[in-house]
A and B are shown apart, each in its own frame.
Chain A
Amino acid sequence: MKALMSVGALIGVLGLLMLIGMIFGVVPSNTVRLVEGYMPMQVLSELAIFVAGFAGLSYLANSMGMTIPRFWQGVLFWAFIQTYLKFRIYPPIPFSVRAMYGVVSFVAVFMWVSANEEDWKKFRQPILNVLDANTGFHKALRTMYLILLPILIGGFSFMTMKPSVDEPIELRTVHPAPPASTKVHGKTYTLQTSQNPYRVNLEGKYDQAYSNKLIVEQGMGRLMAPNANPWDDKAEGYLKYVREGGEIFFQNCHFCHGDNLNGRGLHAFAFNPIPANFTDPGTIAQLQETFIFWRVAKGGIGLPNEGFPWASVMPPWEQHLTTDEIWKVILFEYWHTGYYPRTWD
């Protein structure tokens, strides 16, 4: 047990040193990189390692007679989580989400330190001491709080009331609900039931399973499926349409949506928000092809009221592309990102 805890303690110390080093630039900030695509599990795993490390540290300190008071364990752990969220994760997490995480981690710390009566007594003792202990130190602390608290509250009130020149917070609806049907080039498409006419097998029949097998594999490297190169001259059917969609994409879309479809095109950073990142699992991977068809055809100005504040400058592509071209470019987007369009069967 002691050996296990010692290893845990070692990991905890090394992890902490590494994190502090990276925050202050003592060690390169990319020493332990967060890799896109693996980040979510990486973050959770790192936190688990830190928890194990801190448990080991606490155990060792205890066995050496240098017990860290429970109060400070709680406070320091909460501070660690906030530091981790603020400085470790890049791109930075917006404040609203960090505030949510901060409250949850505060509740978690409370649950931990008050899970049993003994721990709870240990935790609250320093707080009770500040309130009523008669030592000189605690009297001084009380006086300090008496002065500091009104100043802090006053400062907070001042900062809250002070007029701000920042742009207001936006609660933007990224995926507004689509209409039941949409009319493009004189034809009405029912979004629930319409299908991409180019998602076909070699026999020319609509076949989602066939096209799913031929998409670019997800993960590191993003490899094309074997014998599924759309740029092969002999490619027919679905793959040929993917190529045609790709050509349309690179003639029209990649300037904003990027040549890797990740929303970082040549002109992307002229807009705020930047264009949609199709490689993110929260965009086209969550939607039916017909939803994309409607969004591409109608563009930013075609967004419904629900899409307020309509922060999209995408042109209504129905004015520039034919219906077939729109379907083909959608085919290419799914093929390239390796995602499957949502279906309901």
Chain B
Amino acid sequence: MGSVTRTKLMSVMALCAMIGLLLMPILVAIPALAGDGGAPAADGKKEGGEAKVEKGKDVYYKTEGIVSGPPAPKTTDSEKDYPRYNFESRVLLWFANQQHLYYGSFVLAVPIFCMVIEFMGVVTKDKAMAKRYDQLAYDFIKISLTAYSLTAILGGILIFTFLTLYPAFFQYLSGIFRPVMHIYALMFVAESGTLYIYYYGWDKMKEGFLKWIHLSMSVVLNVIGTILMFLANSWIGFMMSPAGVDEQGRYLGNIWHVIHTALWNPLNLHRILGNMAFGGGVVAAYAAYRFLSAKTDEERAHYDWMGYIAMALGVAFLIPLPFAGYWLMREVYAYRQQMGITLMGGLLAWLFIIQATMIGILFLSTNYYLWQALGRMRGAEKYQRYIKYLVFLLTCGYLVFITPHTIVMTPAELKAMGGQQHPVLGNYGVMSAKNGGINVIITTTVLSFVWYMRGNKVSTVSWAKFGNIFMGCFFFFAYLNIIMLAIYGYYIPANVRVGLSVPQVATTLSCLFFMFALNSVMMKGAKQMGPIEWGKISARSQYALIMLATAFTWMMGLMGYIRSSVRLFWHVNEIMRDNSPWAYTHTVGFAANMISANVLFFWISIMFVFWLGALAAKKAPVEAKAAVPGRATAPAVGH
């Protein structure tokens, strides 16, 4: 057997081993899923030789099931249920949880980027570009590897925090989710094994068939990572919208009901997109930092390119994120009206305004970066003079989007306004207007991308003029449609109005897909006005990337807090009450400070991770360095 064949065989075996690792927890879990979870019936008594089983009604699915677990504990404010330091336990848990989530999101997102970039490297015909993509994917996974260990450490800290500070609650939760938690742990083993084989096998599987095997490994790695996240989401889904238990919180033997709660799927989608956008932002910030501290033109070119790729990937997932968020909120309202009102119109409404502000900042930063990026292309000047109109559209959308429904004002202002409702602000403060606002913002972002993609090119197709007019009209009518639907929303019932978001989103996504496709066709074989001069971009653009990443981090912290706070004084909504002394909602100011502290800690620690990554880079072989992208010869097809 030749050495090449042997290597191929080994690679296929490694891939099979990974798939085996992926399937193992599921196979192990089948008996647990099929049965009653192994928990003895709480009140099962032997009477006359027959087991008397008690039945309960599922609080969500309304189905009957055999009681298979103890009721949710009724805790008291005591050292037994809530052991504590002379400090607010909730804040410690908040910190541990948030840091674990930041790193967890990062290490789940980055392998997906690697997969995409490695795939781009495999399919591209340009050998130099292929090498650049491959090196970039390798750089990404290297950063992820260090972060992965930190994620595991933080996960351990989180569990210890739960066990030591909230033992009663954690015992209850782990009692219900026992099989899920075991599968989760096995999945983690599978994830680690796969990640290490994927990383250390990089150089061995560089070419041809082996490269495809390597790429397949990244798919397996990401499938495992995604399932891991889904399982973790089932716990928070259960805490917010419990199912699979009766009114006393007794497990009814159907683990799928416990996992598949009302909010599980919306949470899954929202978190996947959020993680990707967050991961893109963090890598883009890393590239921006390296760009700003670069000493040579080559370095600047490389990190400019890296920042652009990371930003583009992050924004690709940012664009659908508001729609996923909208679905989540819709499901929250459908699950419990009071929960929805607490979030969007009541106690937590102002946090949502802050969230809208952060979303706006994300899109504004993205647009600003793209406008700056036009500066590194010759021929893009023709678009720059129209940027002011895009600024206007973005600003109008943003102003509407952040207008609060509950306005902060002095009693004198309230009197001067003649009531709580303002005839202008009142209209901007509700969902119909806000949907219009965010869709205008996203459509404008798409337009900025289209301008960027054609910045240094002039279409040479015979129908170029028609194509340009068509694109102009398409965008014009898209804006018109979005605004008209937003206005129409005031004249129809609320349930129909909620449905209006679908044509609005469809309009925005049509712009994204059709206009990108049409633009690509028009720009095929286009006349180049000049190359993209990687590295020749303003420092402001890099600050925009850092802003983007910081806004992502801050927003994740905020949304996590909002999602958790909406349970108010419940550990598990309407099932297990939080009787600790900290079962109150923090003030907006305290929450903002806490989120900022978490963000600061995350960025300080991730800088350490980046520094470690940079140390390894210094030892990289000469061959890898030779592949550093963005030299003067970099082709203009990089975007």
Contact = CB atoms under 8 A, between A and B. Distances in A.
Could you say which of A91, A101, A263, A345 has the most chain B C-beta atoms within 10 Å of its C-beta?
Answer: A91
A169 B408 contact: yes
Contact of A107 (B345, B364, B371): B364
A298 to B, nearest CB: 14
A36 B423 contact: yes
A192 B340 CA distance: 12
Given A104-B399, A108-B395, A176-B347, A92 B342 contact: no
A2 to B, nearest CB: 15
Interface stretch (B166-174, B486-494, B513-521, B619-627): B486-494
A324 interface: no
A171 B429 CA distance: 15
Contact of A115 (B347, B391, B588): B391
A47 B396 contact: yes
Contact of A171 (B406, B418, B491): B406
Contacts of B588: 171
B410 A166 contact: yes
A28 to B, nearest CB: 20
Contacts of A174: 345, 405-406, 420
B452 interface: no
B388 interface: yes
A212 interface: yes
B615 interface: no
A274 B427 contact: no
B417 A91 contact: yes
Interface in B59-86: none
B145 interface: no
B256 to A, nearest CB: 24
Contact of B347 (A44, A179, A192, A306): A306
A281 interface: yes
A147 interface: no
Contacts of B433: 40
Interface in A151-202: 166-180, 191-192
Contacts of B419: 263-264, 273-277
B394 A108 contact: yes
A342 interface: yes
Contact of B392 (A51, A280, A341): A51
B424 A272 contact: no
Given A92-B413, A170-B408, A272-B415, A114 B540 contact: yes
B404 to A, nearest CB: 7
A306 B339 CA distance: 12
Contacts of A321: none
A44 B408 contact: no
Contacts of B342: 177, 306
Contacts of B337: 178, 191-192, 288, 291, 344
B530 to A, nearest CB: 16
Contact of B421 (A120, A282, A344, A345): A282
A191 B415 CA distance: 32
A94 B413 contact: yes
Could you say which of B400, B405, B433, B494 has the most chain A C-beta atoms within 10 Å of its C-beta?
Answer: B494
A5 interface: no
B322 to A, nearest CB: 18
A41 B494 contact: no
B418 A97 contact: no
B341 A178 contact: yes
Contact of B346 (A175, A219, A342): A175
B421 A263 contact: yes
A170 B409 contact: yes
Given A176-B346, A263-B419, A306-B346, A282 B426 contact: yes
B423 A340 contact: no
Interface string A55-99: 100000000000000000000000000000000010111111100
Interface in A199-246: 208, 212, 218-219
A37 B424 CA distance: 8
A112 B388 contact: yes
A143 interface: no
Could you say which of B334, B426, B487 has the most chain A C-beta atoms within 10 Å of its C-beta?
Answer: B426
A41 to B, nearest CB: 7
Given A40-B428, A107-B364, A175-B346, A112 B409 contact: no
A116 interface: yes
A104 B490 contact: no
B4 interface: no
A116 B417 contact: no
A177 B428 contact: no
Contact of A116 (B387, B403, B405): B387
A6 interface: no
B346 A177 contact: yes
Nearest to A41: B487
B384 interface: yes
A97 B357 CA distance: 13
A286 interface: yes
B494 A341 contact: yes
A266 interface: no
A277 B422 CA distance: 10
A203 B418 CA distance: 43
Contacts of B381: 116
B244 to A, nearest CB: 20
B402 interface: yes
Contacts of A94: 407-410, 413-414, 417
Given A111-B368, A173-B346, A341-B494, A55 B388 contact: yes
A340 B389 CA distance: 37
A39 B409 contact: no
Nearest to A178: B338
Contacts of B360: 104
A18 B124 CA distance: 60
Given A104-B399, A175-B341, A342-B495, A115 B384 contact: yes
Contacts of B406: 171-174
Contacts of B430: 281-282, 285-286
A172 B402 contact: no
Could you say which of B333, B345, B416 has the most chain A C-beta atoms within 10 Å of its C-beta?
Answer: B345
B129 to A, nearest CB: 28
A97 B425 contact: yes
Interface in A243-272: 263-264, 272
B160 to A, nearest CB: 34
A281 B423 CA distance: 9
A170 B364 CA distance: 30
A282 B371 contact: no
A117 interface: yes
B6 interface: no
Contacts of A133: none
Contacts of A107: 364
A179 B588 CA distance: 23
7 nearest A-B residue pairs (beta carbon): A340-B493, A94-B409, A342-B494, A280-B421, A177-B338, A177-B342, A40-B427
30 contacts: A36-B423, A40-B428, A48-B392, A92-B413, A97-B425, A104-B395, A115-B388, A116-B387, A117-B375, A166-B410, A167-B411, A168-B410, A169-B410, A170-B414, A172-B406, A174-B405, A174-B420, A176-B347, A178-B338, A192-B336, A273-B414, A274-B418, A274-B420, A277-B420, A280-B423, A285-B430, A286-B494, A340-B494, A341-B494, A344-B337
Interface of A: 34, 36-37, 39-41, 43-44, 47-48, 51, 55, 89, 91-97, 100-101, 104-105, 107-108, 111-112, 114-117, 120, 166-180, 191-192, 208, 212, 218-219, 263-264, 272-277, 280-283, 285-286, 288, 291, 306, 340-345
Given A92-B413, A115-B387, 11 more contacts: A36-B423, A89-B424, A96-B408, A104-B399, A108-B392, A120-B538, A176-B341, A178-B337, A179-B338, A282-B421, A285-B490
Interface of B: 333-334, 336-339, 341-342, 345-347, 349-350, 357, 360, 364, 367-368, 371-372, 374-375, 381, 384, 387-389, 391-392, 394-396, 398-400, 402-430, 432-433, 487, 490-495, 538, 540, 574, 588
